[in-house]
Chains A and B, each alone.
Chain A
Amino acid sequence: MAVSKVLMPKLSEAMESGKIIKWLKKEGDRVQSGDILAEVETDKADVEMEAFGSGVLRKILQGAGSTVPVGSLIGVIAEPDEDIAAVASQAGAPAAPAASAAPATPAPAAAAAMSSRPAAVPPQPRREDPAARTPSPASAPTAPTRTAPAAAAPATALRPAAAASPAPGDGGRLKASPLARKIAAQSGVDLHVVHGSGPGGRIVRRDVEAASAAPAVRPVAAPVAPGVEFEDRPLSQIRAIIAKRMPLSKAPVPHFYVSSEVAMDRGWSLREELNALEGQPKISVNDLVLRACALALLQHPGVNASFQGESIRVFYRAHIGIAVALEDGLITPVLRDVQAKSLGQIAAEARDLAERARQRKLRAPEMSGATFSISNLGMFDVTEFSAIINPPEGAILAVGAVRKVPVVTADGLGVGRRMMLTLSCDHRVMDGAMGARFLQDVKRLLEEPLRLMV
Chain B
Amino acid sequence: MTRTFDVVVVGSGPGGYVSAIRCAQLGLGVAVVEDDRPGGVCLNWGCIPTKALLRNAEVLNLVQHASDFGITVGEVRADYAQAVQRSRAVADRMAKGVEFLFRKNKVTLVPGTGTLKNARTVEVKGGAGTETLEAGRAVILATGSKPRSLPGVSIDEKLVISSNGAVRNESRPASIVVIGAGAVGVEFADVYAAYGAQVTLLEALPRVLPIEDEDAGALITRLFGRRGITIKTGVKVSAVKPGGPGAIVETDGGRFEAQQVLMAVGRAARTDGIGLEAAGVQMERGFVKISPTMETTAKGVYAIGDMAGAPLLAHKAMAEGVVAAEAIAGQHPRPIDYGNVPSCTYCRPQVASIGASEAKTKENGREVTVGKFPFTASGKAVAMGETDGFVKVVADKATGEILGVHIVGPEATEIIHEFAVGRTLEATLEEIMHTIHAHPTLSEAALEATLAALGQAIHI
B398 contacts A178, C-beta separation under 8 Å? no
B residues within 8 A CB of A186? 398-399
> Max chain B CB contacts within 10 Å: which of A178, A182, A183, A199?
A178
User: B36 near A: Cβ within 8 Å?
Assistant: no
Q: Does B76 reach chain A (CB closer than 8 Å)?
A: no
**Segment at the interface with A among B47-55, B133-141, B378-386, B423-431:** B423-431
Interface hits, B427-444 → A, CB 8 Å: 427-428, 430-431
Q: Does A443 contact B (CB under 8 A)?
A: no
A180 touches B426 (CB 8 A): yes
CA distance A186 to B399 in the complex (A): 8
Judge if A354 is at the interface, Cβ distance under 8 Å: no
Question: Measured between C-beta atoms, what is the minimum distance from A355 to chain B in Å?
Answer: 15
Interface centre among B398, B427, B428, B430 (most CB of A within 10 A): B428
Interface residues of B in 296-321 (CB under 8 A from A): none
A26 adjacent to chain B (CB < 8 Å): no
Complex contacts, B426 vs chain A, CB 8 Å:
177-180, 204-205
Across the interface, which residues of B come within 8 angstroms of A182, CB to CB? 399-401, 428
Q: How far is the CB of A175 from chain B (nearest CB, A)?
A: 11
Residues 390-411 of chain B: 1 if any A CB is under 8 Å from the residue's CB, otherwise 0?
Answer: 0000000011110000000000
Which of the listed residues B334, B399, B401, B431 has the most CB atoms from chain A within 10 Å of its own CB?
B399
Which chain A residues border B431 with CB–CB below 8 Å? 178
Report the nearest B residue to A185, measured CB to CB. B399
B398 to A, closest residue via Cβ? A186
Known: A178-B430, A178-B431. A183 touches B425 (CB 8 A): no
A contact residues around B400 at 8 Å (CB): 179, 182
Closest-by-CB residue of B relative to A206 is: B426
Main secondary structure of the interface of A (DSSP, over half): helix
* Closest B residue to A198 using CB positions: B426
A204 partner residues in chain B, CB cutoff 8 A: 426
How distant is the Cα of A180 from the Cα of B427 in the complex, in angstroms?
A: 9
A182 to B427, CA, bound (A): 10
For residue B334, which residue of chain A has the nearest CB? A199
- Which residue among B334, B399, B426 has the maximum number of chain A CB atoms within 10 Å of its CB? B426
In chain A between 165 and 210, which residues have their CB closer than 8 angstroms to a CB of chain B? 177-180, 182-183, 186, 199, 204-205
Q: Name A225-263 residues within 8 Å CB distance of B.
A: none
User: Chain A residues near B430 (CB, 8 Å)?
Assistant: 178
- B residues within 8 A CB of A178? 425-428, 430-431
Q: With CB as the reference atom, state the residue of chain B lying closest to A205.
A: B426
Q: How far is the CB of B192 from chain A (nearest CB, A)?
A: 44
Please state if A179 and B427 are interface contacts (CB–CB under 8 Å).
yes
**How far apart sit A182 and B426, CA to CA, in the bound complex (Å)?**
10
- Chain B nearest CB, measured from A418 CB (Å): 36
Q: How far is the CA of A404 from the CA of B297 in the complex (A)?
A: 47
> What are the residues of chain B within 8 A of A199 when measuring CB–CB?
334
Closest B residue to A203 by CB, please name it. Answer: B426
Cα A205 to Cα B403 with chains together (Å): 13
Chain B residues with Cβ below 8 Å from A205 are 401, 426
Convert A58-97 into 0s and 1s, putting 1 for each residue whose CB lies closer than 8 angstroms to a CB of B: 0000000000000000000000000000000000000000
| A182–B399 alpha-carbon span in the complex (Å) | 6
* CB–CB A177/B399 < 8 A: no
Q: Render B231-256 as a binary contact track against A, CB cut-off 8 A, 1 for contact.
A: 00000000000000000000000000
Query: Do the beta carbons of A183 and B399 come within 8 Å of each other?
Result: yes
- What is the CB-to-nearest-CB distance from B367 to chain A, in angstroms, rounded to a whole number? 13
Q: Which of B347-405 contact A (CB under 8 A)?
A: 398-401
- Cβ–Cβ < 8 Å partners of B334 in chain A: 199
Task: Annotate A114-141 by CB proximity to B: 1 below 8 A, 0 otherwise.
Answer: 0000000000000000000000000000
The complex places the Cα of A186 from the Cα of B334 at a distance, in Å, of: 28
Complex alpha-carbon distance, A177 and B400, angstroms: 13
A204 and B424 CA atoms in complex are apart in Å by 10
Q: Report the minimum CB–CB distance from A249 to chain B (whole Å).
A: 41
By beta carbon, the residue of chain A nearest B399 is A182
Instruction: For the complex formed, measure the closest distance between the CB of B144 and the CB atoms of chain A, giving whole angstroms.
Output: 31
Chain A positions within 8 Å of B399 at CB level? 179, 182-183, 186
Q: How far is the CA of A205 from the CA of B425 in the complex (A)?
A: 10
In B321-345, the 8 Å CB interface with A consists of 334
Q: Which A residues touch B427, using CB under 8 A?
A: 177-179
Nearest residue (CB) in A for B429 is: A178
Tell me if B398 and A179 are in contact (CB < 8 A).
no
* Minimum C-beta distance from B326 to chain A (A): 14
Minimal Cβ-Cβ distance residue in A for B432: A178
Chain A 351-381 interface residues, beta-carbon cutoff 8 Å to B: none
In the assembled complex, 24 residue pairs joining A and B whose CB atoms fall closer than 8 Å, in A order, are A177-B425, A177-B426, A177-B427, A178-B426, A178-B428, A178-B431, A179-B399, A179-B400, A179-B401, A179-B426, A179-B427, A179-B428, A180-B426, A182-B399, A182-B400, A182-B401, A182-B428, A183-B399, A186-B398, A186-B399, A199-B334, A204-B426, A205-B401, A205-B426
Chain A residues packing against B (C-beta within 8 Å): 177-180, 182-183, 186, 199, 204-205
Task: Please give 5 more A-B residue pairs, beta carbons under 8 A apart, in addition to A179-B399, A179-B428, A182-B399.
Answer: A177-B425, A179-B426, A180-B426, A182-B428, A205-B401
Task: For the complex of A and B, list the 8 residue pairs with the smallest distance between their C-beta atoms, beginning with the closest.
Answer: A177-B426, A179-B426, A182-B399, A178-B428, A178-B431, A179-B401, A179-B428, A178-B427
